[in-house]
Amino acid sequence: MIGNFITSVLLLILSGVIYAESSKMPNLGGMTLAGPGFFPKCCAAFFTFAAVVLIIQEVYKIITVKTGDTAYAKAELKKAVDLKETIKNNLSGVFRMTVIPILMVLYGISLRGIGFEISTFVFLIASMAVCGERSWKRLLLIPIAAIIVVYLLFIKFLRVAIPTSFL
């Protein structure tokens, strides 16, 4: 219940941001029926629709559904309290869940300044270590192999420009 409301609010915020940003895209002088902002606006509309449907479903459940002797809202609040206890008992999972997105943001920021190779190498080692990998052999070989594969695939074969520093 609470999770669905939070998800709905986040979807509404995201759809507003996507719509606002896609409205700033150039119109291409009417050369095409659907300009570059068309697809993001469609995504924003879908997110808005999904959020509204989710809110309506939850309100309907709160009003009508009973689980045993208790109302739906009371049962869902008990689940939320139980989830809070589960999270307290699994702090390492919560740590991973928060550190990995932080590492992703730092990776995106450092990519342009430091370059693809170093940023990717450090990001992969850090994220693998956070997820529990302890073998130094894997911690070194997997990032190196990933960098080589991405380099060959995107730069050599597809000729995509990637901010590199060494290769």
pLDDT digits (tens, 9 = 90+) for 101-152: 999 999 989 988 888 899 999 999 999 999 999 999 999 999 999 999 998 9
151 or 167, which is more confident?
Answer: 151
Confidence of residue 156 (pLDDT cuts 50, 70, 90): confident
24 pLDDT band (50/70/90 cuts)? confident
Task: Tell me which H or E stretch contains 40.
Answer: helix 38-64
Instruction: Note the residue count of the chain.
Output: 167
24-36 residues labelled b (16+ CB within 10 A) or e (exposed): eeeeeeeeeeebe
**Please, is 116 exposed, middle or buried when counting C-beta atoms within 10 Å of its C-beta (0-12, 13-18, 19+)?**
buried
Percentage of residues in the chain having pLDDT higher than 70: 90
- As a whole number of angstroms, the distance between CA 150 and CA 148 comes to 6
CA dihedral 96, 97, 102, 105 (to 10 degrees): 120
